[in-house]
Amino acid sequence: MTAQKSILSASHDGNLSFCRRTRQSAMAAEDSGKTPSVENIFTGFRDSRRFDFSLADPTPSTLTLSPDQLNFCHKALGIFREKIVDPGSIALEFGNLQANRMLSSEMQLSCTVAMNSDNLGKNRYTDVVPFDKNRVVLNPSKDYRSSAKGYINASFIKVTSSSSSESISQFIATQGPLPHTMEDFWEMVIQHHCPIIVMLSRLVDNHKTVKCGDYFQAEDGPRKFGKKSIVTKWIKTTDTSLVLRNLEVNCLLQTEEHPMSILHIQYPEWPDNGIPNDTVSVREIIKRLYQVPPRLGPIIVHCSAGIGRTGTYCAIHNTIQRILAGDMSALDLAKTVAMLRDQRIGMVETMDQYLFCYNAIVDELKDLTVGTNAGTSLFSPPHTTGNLTSCRRARSHRQSVMATANSGKSPSAANLSTGYGDSKRFDFSSADSPPSKLSLSPDQLSYCHRALEVFRGKIVDPDSIAREFANLQANRMWPSELQLTCTVAMNSVNSEKNRYSDVMPFDNNRVVLNPCKDYRSSAKGYVNASLIKTSSSSESISQFIATQGPLSHTVEDFWEMVIQQHCPVIVMLTRLVDNHKTEDKPMSVLHIQYPEWPDHGVPRDTVAVREILKRLYQRILAGDMSALDLAKTVAIFRSQRIGMVQTMDQYFFCYNAIVDELEDLTAGTNTGTSS
């Protein structure tokens, strides 16, 4: 039996994710020249054996819209564009969804079949199971125990139109099959006449964790699963990293039946705990399904757990479908996600996934209204107008963090902010690996125990954390305020020194280079960098310089800043871009690079980040209990540089890393395990 684990439990395991995956397929009727109705969108073939996927186009065909459909899309695009420039309201929407999600006690009552002891071994995760009311029932099942009740971890997903009781979208959201549930999976495909399988994961994640059993690869000949066999007729890889397979399924004991043709679409590049770099591939899946008659049967969508990525796809697909049918209730994405969650727990799991839904919908509506299948993605480089800026930029820009070096003594509030006046006197040439153990005074140990208790209390209540972040987003700085507070950065002479047009230092705490290599008076010694301080009483505990990754023409300015500001440590949280490090001054700098922090998410655990922290000082060790208010700390950071701690996942990661480090400190070791 496969080892089970919980992915929804809100423990400090380094990845407080609320849930995981869900995909949607989008269907639309061929252009009849008339206003589309819910009925004619569903007109099509009833038997998937009659639909031939063998001639699938290398590129999806363009969908021709009627005048009414074009009008619906234009209207929807205008409304979604208005929403997408207000990430604070989007964060509040998601916060409300999280606050109203199903509790564990409710799950016990709603998922009785899934939690039956005979069926527990069929669940990949113990807390991602189908509700009794809409679970897929296999009849007859290969498992003849009456208590099993034809069980498979899969849920029927339907969202009806506001003008009709008929479902616009019909999906089956399911987990990635386990080795001992693959026969059940194919039984489900056959019994429910499922013509399409959308797979939003790899089989193995990072060559370590198995996310899905290999139920579909049959390039070397037929594979048998009980009384069924499958064979791969063809396989193609698109320019957008989709892997298309035409699978043929046969029931071995029913020779009179024709083989069933299945289109299997795999998107292996969607990261397990994140979102794709752009919306192109996800939208190509939808484009390929526009012309597939919905009456063929429900579309199976799965990732690993069948809620995060799966739910995200289903929300996007369903929204586009309903808009094409003229159902303007689809403009309420929060309501759509709530309906999905009412049918499978945790659909659309993270803030990033929810935000991705908005971006993909806008991008696809833009494509539809300009009449092309290859439109520009709004989920694109920062200079693109109309995209989410302050709620997404931190995933793209670079930060360098500066801090004073460890003196080797038990720090106090006074000596935490007192470092070496001249970094040239500090020798990093024999830096310890691993970092040396920090000795705590009795008071410091008491501070850490108290802080650990407070943070542990918070970390088991993800709703309150979500509300904290939503409040931060609601009070973020607006673009109009940027014009008034970043005048030097926005000067035409300095604009080319900014990697992104909407990530700039404020005038009141920007780093000023004096003298600057740029002698134009209007430049005012400009570098895109901000002095970041948090105070304990009147004394600053932390002193950082947060800056962008240097551009090719600002590298000299960067090193000038290092020298002028006596910066002893550089923390680089990205992969290396420029290998040229020419030191023309005799100054010693400790450069710490963490290249494995993903550009679009958070690290898999907190260990590496905490190893950096062990080389630096912290406010809690100084006895500053105001540090227990993380939201206030982030607000202070944001008052000094726009968008600091940008996503909900990053905010959760802060809590996890703090708890893990406090556990290490109070356990008296510097190499504790991150749980």
pLDDT score for 476: 72
DSSP state of 7: S
Give me 551's structure tokens: 């551009």
Mean pLDDT of the chain: 74
CB 598: neighbour CB atoms within 10 A? 13
Q: Where are the beta strands (DSSP E) in 56-181?
A: 135-137, 151-160, 167-174
Q: Of 502, 500, 501, which is closest to residue 476 (Cα–Cα)?
A: 502
**More confidently predicted of 453 and 256:** 453
**Which residue intervals of 52-86 are DSSP H helices?**
67-84
3-state secondary structure of 630: helix
Give per-residue pLDDT as tens, 453-505.
Answer: 888 888 888 778 888 888 887 777 766 667 778 888 888 888 889 988 778 89
- Of 74-78, 294-298, 346-350, the one with minimum mean pLDDT is 294-298
What band does 638 get if pLDDT is binned at 50, 70 and 90?
confident
668: phi > 0 → left, psi -120 to 50 → alpha, else beta; which?
Answer: left
Give per-residue pLDDT as tens, 568-618.
Answer: 788 887 775 444 434 344 556 667 666 777 765 777 777 666 655 554 445
**More confidently predicted of 366 and 160:** 366
pLDDT score for 410: 35
pLDDT score for 295: 76
Report the alpha-carbon distance of residue 68 to residue 62 in Å, rounded: 17
Whether the predicted pLDDT of 306 surpasses 90: yes
DSSP state of 622: G
pLDDT score for 146: 60
Whether 303 sits among the annotated catalytic residues: the reply is yes
Q: State what percent of residues in the chain have pLDDT above 70.
A: 67
**More confidently predicted of 521 and 347:** 347
Report the alpha-carbon distance of residue 561 to residue 475 in Å, rounded: 31
**More confidently predicted of 155 and 592:** 155
Helix (H) or strand (E) holding 576: none
Residues 134/139/142/143 CA torsion (nearest 10 deg): 60
Whether the predicted pLDDT of 37 surpasses 50: no
Report the alpha-carbon distance of residue 532 to residue 534 in Å, rounded: 7
What are 539's strand-pairing partners? 536
**Which residue intervals of 475-573 are DSSP H helices?**
479-485, 555-564
Report the alpha-carbon distance of residue 120 to residue 143 in Å, rounded: 13
pLDDT score for 236: 92
pLDDT score for 114: 93
Angle between helices 462-474 and 648-667 (to 10 degrees): 130
Question: How far, CA to CA in Å, does 497 sit from each of 29, 392, 490, 576?
Answer: 49, 20, 10, 19
Q: Are strands 400-401 and 569-572 parallel, antiparallel or unpaired?
A: antiparallel
Q: Are strands 167-174 and 260-266 parallel, antiparallel or unpaired?
A: unpaired
**More confidently predicted of 598 and 407:** 598
Domain 38-380: give its CATH superfamily.
Answer: Protein tyrosine phosphatase superfamily (3.90.190.10)
The 3-state secondary structure of 452-486, one letter per residue: HHHHHHHHCCHHHHHHHHHHHHHCCCCHHHHHHHC
Backbone angles phi, psi at 584, to 5 degrees: -105, 10
- Of 324-333, 513-522, 589-598, 641-650, the one with minimum mean pLDDT is 513-522
What band does 256 get if pLDDT is binned at 50, 70 and 90?
low
Place of tokens 């006074």: 414
Give per-residue pLDDT as tens, 186-244.
Answer: 999 999 999 999 999 988 876 667 889 888 887 777 888 888 889 999 999 998 889 99
Whether the predicted pLDDT of 649 surpasses 80: yes
Give per-residue pLDDT as tens, 382-402.
Answer: 233 233 333 333 333 323 322
How many degrees, rounded to 5, is the angle at CA 38 between CA 32 and CA 39? 75
**More confidently predicted of 437 and 371:** 437
**More confidently predicted of 202 and 541:** 202
Question: How far, CA to CA in Å, does 417 sit from each of 91, 304, 539?
Answer: 36, 47, 8
Domains 38-380 and 395-667 share a fold: yes
pLDDT score for 77: 94
Can you give the C-alpha Rg of the chain in angstroms? 27
Q: Where are the domains of the chain?
A: 38-380, 395-667
Whether the predicted pLDDT of 66 surpasses 80: yes
- 84: Cβ contacts below 8 Å, ≥ 6 apart: 90, 358, 359, 362, 378, 386, 387, 388
What are 247's strand-pairing partners? 232, 262
Whether the predicted pLDDT of 343 surpasses 90: yes
Which class in CATH covers the domain with range 395-667?
alpha beta
19, 111, 303, 391: the active-site residue: 303
What band does 27 get if pLDDT is binned at 50, 70 and 90?
very low
Whether the predicted pLDDT of 380 surpasses 80: no
pLDDT score for 310: 96
Whether the predicted pLDDT of 547 surpasses 90: yes
Report the alpha-carbon distance of residue 338 to residue 18 in Å, rounded: 14
Q: State what percent of residues in the chain have pLDDT above 90.
A: 28
Report the alpha-carbon distance of residue 229 to residue 215 in Å, rounded: 11
